[in-house]
Amino acid sequence: MTPPDAIVFDNDGLLLDTEEAWTRAESALFARYGGTFTVDHKRELIGSSHTIAAGKLEVMLGRPGEGQALIDELHALVMAEAAHDVEPRPGAVALVDALLAAGIPVAVASNSPREFLDRVLQTSGMAERFAVTVAGDEVPSPKPAPDIYLEACRRLGADPARSVGLEDSPTGAQAAKAAGLTVIGVPYFADMDIPDADITAASLADAIVSETVGLVPSRG
């Protein structure tokens, strides 16, 4: 069994349960403008880059032309939330530790800005496990473009075609697939379809995940 060159993790909703922090911030933002943040809003925003989210927020809150200002407000709110109550997703710690023990390189590829990514990795206690992390504001185009995944593989000296990406959203999976990685989809919402995923799992603790990332022999 030849292990992959690298395993690249999405962050929000996949590696860390930061979506709870985002939801608290999004709810506060909507309340400021007399709105109510719903699950449907969450589904539409999940995985979006800041640029895409800005356009969506303009529509959701009925404030055309104010997308960047809304994103700036949301960023300030979520940075405060990111300082507490951020936990790894089920199976994340065990999976990353097993990969490190096996000598398989790992990285984080996130659409979130560097300031937020660094804070939540520290808050969750996961920062020291990753020598390579790439943020959405460090590449020419965020997800669904492949840039973040290509940069993560470049920094690890890994061939994308021999690497695996793990994602919780269609947007992220599209990026990993476009970069040439094998994609494991672990949907944040259990009923969310991830069309670009080669394999779908209910959590990072599923046996199929361990098989696909090269930790155990495939039963297939």
Choice among 10, 17, 147, 196 that is catalytic: 10
One-letter amino acid at 90 equals: P
- Find where tokens 């999004």 sit: 26
Our answer to whether residue 10 is catalytic in this structure is: yes
116 Cβ contact partners less than 8 Å away, ≥ 6 residues apart: 75, 78, 79, 82, 135
Choice among 5, 12, 147, 206 that is catalytic: 12
The reply to whether omega before 140 is within 30° of 0 (cis) is no
Contact indicator for 7, 163 with CB cutoff of 8 Å: yes
170 Cβ contact partners less than 8 Å away, ≥ 6 residues apart: 47, 192, 193, 194, 195, 196
Give the three-class secondary structure for 16: strand
Write out the catalytic residue numbers. Answer: 10, 12
